[in-house]
Amino acid sequence: MPEPWHSALTHLECARCGIRHDASVPQNLCACGSPLLARYDLERVGATVAPADLAERGQDLWRYRELLPVAGRENAITLGEGMTPILPLARYGHGIGVPGLLVKDEGLLPTGSFKARGAAVGVSRARELGIEAITMPTNGNAGAAWAAYAARAGLRSLVVMPEDAPRITRMESALAGARLYVVDGLIGDAGAIAAQAVADGWFSTATLREPYRVEGKKTMGLEIVEQLGWRAPDVIVYPTGGGVGLIGIHKALEELRALGWLTGPAPRLVVVQAAGCAPLVRAFEAGSSTAPPWPDPRTFAYGVNVASTLGDFLVLDAVRSTGGTAVAVADEDILAAQAACAAAEGLVTCPEGAATLAAVARLRESGWLTGEEEVVVLNTGSGLKYPPPAGSPEPPHLAPGATLPD
């Protein structure tokens, strides 16, 4: 007998002005320009399901279906996403003075990044609402993921990415049948071009412009709490571009708290950005509630090369309200952390994931972390998706039959 399926979604709410919007039709932004957030009947969820029931369910993100927007099981498009492992990084953590360091490894997801979570839920809900064609600007991973899920759902996709986006994401998008364009510019330029497709009737699934990508990414927070035995770690460290993942994790923690499934102090949420593109870090340090665009964004951690985001105020609120902080790390520190973690643990993180490791080391040095904490960092993608960084040493070559050097 299939397990029962229901979603407790009731409506959408503007994250800024609080106005209610109808969740039964496609929606983008509120008239005030702010993203919309999905709201659920949490009393109903609490009355129909308990944490222990989840243990019986499939090992994917649809185990949280009551807290997701997809009403019909038949509309849940899946490539097996979710329930990524949380791994101790004891040796690496010890080396930087944070032995309680854990990584949630999102590199194992379909399409090789956590963008699969947002795409699975966003595409599923889009199809459920009758949308047939989606479009987005992307730094690579989102386009690859949405193109893949769109293909599986039978939707058309149109993806625009800057020329610097990792090459493999072009191949992924193209193989999945997306109409793919590469713009000789930055993500903002890609956005302006994707907006033309929206004018032609393609539904915009750009970051935070539709409400359900956050819901997919929210499942990272749900999983962290479930996997740790229905409790939160002391600190969660997240490589932040548009901030969808951090907003989602914060939303997950609030919903779990409202349900009574999570008690105890809230984890402190930490935003990590690259020094070459750190609008949210600068805004955090300036005490500001919004983040003006970063003038000349530059980092090889493409997923966080985002000069401005519609969700700035939500990210900054999540960090401040949990007693967290925001840290910018230089590209060379990201590279060093990536190499050190791979050598110590055998885990090749993506640059964005490595940025969180560099940030943890920095927070330990500054004393913000005492070293006693349990810290979960998000490795948001597989290091295997990225080209070798410039200057990677070439291993010695040997002629066939050569003698092995000492």
Ligand X SMILES: *Cc1c(COP(=O)(O)O)cnc(C)c1O
C-alpha–C-alpha distance, residues 180 and 191, integer Å? 13
* Closest to 157 measured CA to CA, from 194, 189, 209: 194
Q: Which does 239 bind (CB under 5 to 8 A by kind): Zn ion, ligand X, none?
A: ligand X
Cα separation of 62 and 73, whole Å? 9
For residue 86, the SS3 value is strand
Q: What is the CA radius of gyration of the chain?
A: 21
Partners of residue 133 on adjacent β-strands: 156
Q: Least distance from C-beta 32 to Zn ion, angstroms?
A: 3
Q: Which stretch binds Zn ion (CB under 5 A): 33-41, 209-217, 228-236, 332-340?
A: 33-41
If the CB atoms of residues 16 and 39 are measured against Zn ion, the closer one turns out to be: 16
* CB nearer ligand X, residue 49 or residue 121: 121
Using CB under 5 A as the binding criterion, the count of chain residues that bind Zn ion stands at 6
Burial 174-186 (b: 16+ CB within 10 A, else e): eebebbbeebeeb
Is residue 301 within 8 Å of residue 351, measured between CB atoms?
yes
Question: What is the nearest approach in angstroms of Zn ion to the Cβ of residue 12?
Answer: 10
Nearer to Zn ion, 19 or 286 (CB): 19
Q: How many Å apart are CA 362 and CA 360, to the nearest integer? A: 5
Name the minimum Å distance from CB 203 to Zn ion: 20
- CB contact at 8 A, 312 and 279: yes
Q: Is there binding between residue 211 and Zn ion (CB under 5 A)? A: no
- The reply on whether position 14 binds Zn ion by CB under 5 A is yes
Q: How far is CA 118 from CA 24, 189, 252, 270, in A?
A: 19, 22, 14, 21
103 binding partner (options ligand X, Zn ion, none; Cβ < 5 to 8 Å by kind)? none
Residue 17 contact among ligand X, Zn ion, none, beta carbon within 5 to 8 Å by kind: Zn ion
337-376: burial string, b at 16+ Cβ within 10 Å, e else: bbebbeebbebbbbbbbbbbbbbbbbbbeeebbeeebbbb
Name the residue among 348, 297, 336 with its Cα closest to residue 164. 297
Q: Name the minimum Å distance from CB 278 to ligand X.
A: 13
Interface with ligand X (CB under 6 A): 113, 115, 141-142, 207, 239-245, 303-304, 350, 352, 380-381
Cβ proximity to Zn ion, 32 vs 343, nearer residue: 32
Closer residue to ligand X, CB minimum distance, 310 or 363: 310
* Residue 9 interacts with Zn ion (CB under 5 A): yes or no: no
CB of 126 to ligand X, least distance (A): 18
Per CB under 5 A, the segment of 30-38, 63-71, 195-203, 381-389 that binds Zn ion is 30-38
> Among Zn ion, ligand X, none, what binds residue 30 when CB lies within 5 to 8 Å by partner kind?
Zn ion
388-397, long-range: CB < 8 A, 24+ apart = 389/300, 389/335
The Cα–Cα gap between 17 and 1 comes to 44
Select the span of 25-33, 97-105, 271-279, 323-331 touching Zn ion (CB under 5 A).
25-33
Q: Which of 248, 203, 233, 222 is nearest to 38 (CA)?
A: 248
148 binds Zn ion (CB under 5 A): no
Options 3, 24, 32, 58; binder of Zn ion; rule CB under 5 A: 32
Based on the shown chain and the rule CB under 5 A, indicate whether residue 20 belongs to the binding site for Zn ion: no
CB of 352 to ligand X, least distance (A): 3
Residue nearest to ligand X (CB): 303
Does position 34 bind Zn ion by CB under 5 A? yes
Residues that bind Zn ion (CB under 5 A): 14, 16-17, 30, 32, 34
